[in-house]
Each structure stands twice: as C-alpha cells, then as structure tokens.
Amino acid sequence: MRELSADARRPFTIAVASGKGGTGKTLVATNLAVAQSRSGVNVVLVDCDVEAPNDHLFLKRVHEAVEPVNVLVAEVDAARCTGCGQCRDSCAYGAVRLLGGPAIVFEELCHGCGSCLDVCAAGAMAEVPRCVGEVLSGPVEDSGVLTLVTGRLDVGQVKSPAVIRQARAAARLVPSDLVVLDAPPGVACAAVAAVRGADALLLVTEPTPFGLHDLQLSMRLGQDLDLPMGVVVNRDDGDAESVSQVCSAFGVPILARIPFDRRVAEVYARGGLAGDELPEFGELMVRLGSSIRGLVAPEVLHR
C-alpha cells in the first residue's frame, strides 16, 4: 500500500484508465462519479481524454467557466539569427532546425524548455504563447455535489499533456473529497499526465484478445508509477477466465464485473447514465467506490 502523501489536504484521487479505447472507461468514470456524489461525497470528475472528451454528453453543467490553455514555444527573429546552430544543438527534442538560412522552429516539437534562448548569443530567440486548447468547468445538475472539469485540445494541436495538466490544476481549485480522472486510452504521454500522482488506478478492460493485451500494458504503466491498481471487467460474458489469469499474474484484483447487457449499451447510446435507469448498475458503482478505497492505506483515506 502507498504511504501518506506529503500534501495532506489533497482529496482522494482515482484515475480511471484503459489500454485501448472502447472498453467502457467513460461509462465507469461517469457513473462512478455520480454514484459517489449522490451518496454524499463531494466529487470532481476531470475529463482528461482531451482529444475526444465526452463526459459532458452524459453530465450537463449548470453553467460553464472557460479558461484557455496557453503554452510557450520558441520563436526566431530571422533578422538577428546568424545561423550558428547553437539553438539546434541545444534542443533535446529536435524542434529547431537549420535549412540553409535562419533557424526554424517546429512548434509541435517545442517543449518550451528555454534552452535555445540560453545559448543564443545573438538574442534571436524568444518565447511566445500559443493557445492549444481550453478547460471548461462547472457544477453538474441533478447529480448531488458534482463538478465536471473538461479539458479540450484544439484541432490540429498535439500538446495533450499541457491541457491535461491545466484541467487537473483547475480541479484542485474546487473543494472536494474525491477526484475521478477519466484518462485517455493507452500508455503514451497523455495517459501518464492523466494518471500520475493518483492514489489508485482503476483499469477498465474487456475479455477480448486486444483488451487483454492492452490491459497488460496499462498494468505495467501502473507498476512503473507505483500505483495501487484494480480492474473492472466490462461486457463480461461469464467466460473471462483469461482476464483472471492476467490479473493474477500481476497481483491485481478484479473489483467488479459488468455483465454483457444490451440495456447498458442502449442507455449509453442515448446519452443516459446506466445508474439512473438500472438500479443494480448504480449499486455496483457504489460498491466499486468502496472497493477502490480498500486498495490504499487507511491514512491516505483519512488525511
């Protein structure tokens, strides 16, 4: 079990993730957040799947606050650039190139680290802000005490982690007992930015070959980040022994099984919450919240 965080004021944080898209991650994250909120817990749900956020399709905000997400990128003053190549050589990300004239910055690769500014003797480099997305937040109607924070990456932009970090920062400004992070699928930089620092990692999978393969990738990420983990098996057809074997090999418990039920898919397809229309699903989400808390040390829950 994890030790007590140095920041004793931080709410308990659950990251809901999956190795691939389409496993039911958003289904679990939204219903879990609502179920916990209606049981009296002050919840913030953060949609960190910033390239395709959709939690807002199921949860309607009473009102929205919108904040732009700006990042700093390097810019070259061509009139002052001598073409010495120092900026290119200092860039660890290959964002600065020389193609027979003044230096050129590829903004998609620039991380705003400032190394090119430090080495430019001619003073030709500067940092300028670029808007790459936005963060929307507000209370959700008819859901208890629940706030929804949505990160949204602009079309054509690639800096998902910057939007995710700002969305999580916005969530920290809302008083809460529980934060649920709806992470992007996969194990790349965006997923790491979404789940890093959580108190527990809830992995949603399905009993298919692709689901099992990507579940193992997600478990390895959780191990690398030293996160307590639990698994939810979605669309369980009663023959998920292979999932059990994978979880046993990693020492990760299965916390819930969602039966293969056409009714759940129908509710989801029309933008509803399964917990509202299927009482047994709502009860499952309440129990799931308790099971997740059982993964961590008691002092983390009571800090």
pLDDT band of 57, cuts 50, 70, 90: very high
SS3 26: helix
At how many degrees (to 10) do helices 241-250 and 209-224 cross? Answer: 20
CATH at residue 126: 3.30.70.20
Lowest mean pLDDT among 74-78, 248-252, 272-276, 299-303: 299-303
Tell me the average pLDDT across 51-61.
95
Q: Are 180 and 204 in contact (CB under 8 A)?
A: no
User: Could you tell me the two tokens for 245?
Assistant: 């074997």
The one-letter amino acid code at 194 reads A
Give the start-end residues of each E strand in 23-95: 43-47, 65-76
Q: Which residues lie closer than 8 Å to 244 by C-beta, 6 or more apart?
A: 254
- Condensed to tens digits (0 to 9), the pLDDT of residues 87-134 reads 999 999 999 999 999 999 999 999 999 999 999 999 999 999 999 999
Whether residue 7 is contained in a domain is answered as no
Q: Which residues lie closer than 8 Å to 135 by C-beta, 6 or more apart?
A: 66, 67, 69, 149, 150, 151, 152, 163, 166, 167, 170
Question: Do 198 and 103 have their domain in common?
Answer: no
State how far the Cα of 175 lies from the Cα of 181, in Å rounded to an integer: 15
Question: Do 263 and 153 have their domain in common?
Answer: yes
Residue 138 CB coordination number (10 Å): 18
Q: Are 163 and 5 in contact (CB under 8 A)?
A: no
Domain that holds residue 253: 12-59+140-301
Question: Do 23 and 153 have their domain in common?
Answer: yes
Question: Do 27 and 120 have their domain in common?
Answer: no
- Condensed to tens digits (0 to 9), the pLDDT of residues 199-230 reads 999 999 999 999 999 999 999 999 999 999 99
Question: Do 226 and 125 have their domain in common?
Answer: no
- pLDDT at residue 4 above 70? no
Cα angle 275, 53, 42 (rounded to 5 degrees) comes to 50
CATH at residue 53: 3.40.50.300
Q: What is the pLDDT of residue 262?
A: 93
Tell me the average pLDDT across 246-266.
94
pLDDT band of 10, cuts 50, 70, 90: confident
Q: In what order do the strands lie in the sheet with 178-182?
A: 65-76, 125-139, 146-153, 43-47, 178-182, 12-17, 200-205, 229-236, 254-259
Question: Do 196 and 293 have their domain in common?
Answer: yes
Q: What is the pLDDT of residue 229?
A: 97
Residue 55 gets which letter from DSSP? G
Question: Do 16 and 156 have their domain in common?
Answer: yes
- pLDDT at residue 256 above 80? yes
Whether residue 6 is contained in a domain is answered as no
Q: What is the pLDDT of residue 28?
A: 97
Tell me the average pLDDT across 274-295.
94
pLDDT band of 298, cuts 50, 70, 90: low
State how far the Cα of 239 lies from the Cα of 250, in Å rounded to an integer: 20
Q: What are phi and psi of 264, to 5 degrees?
A: -65, -45
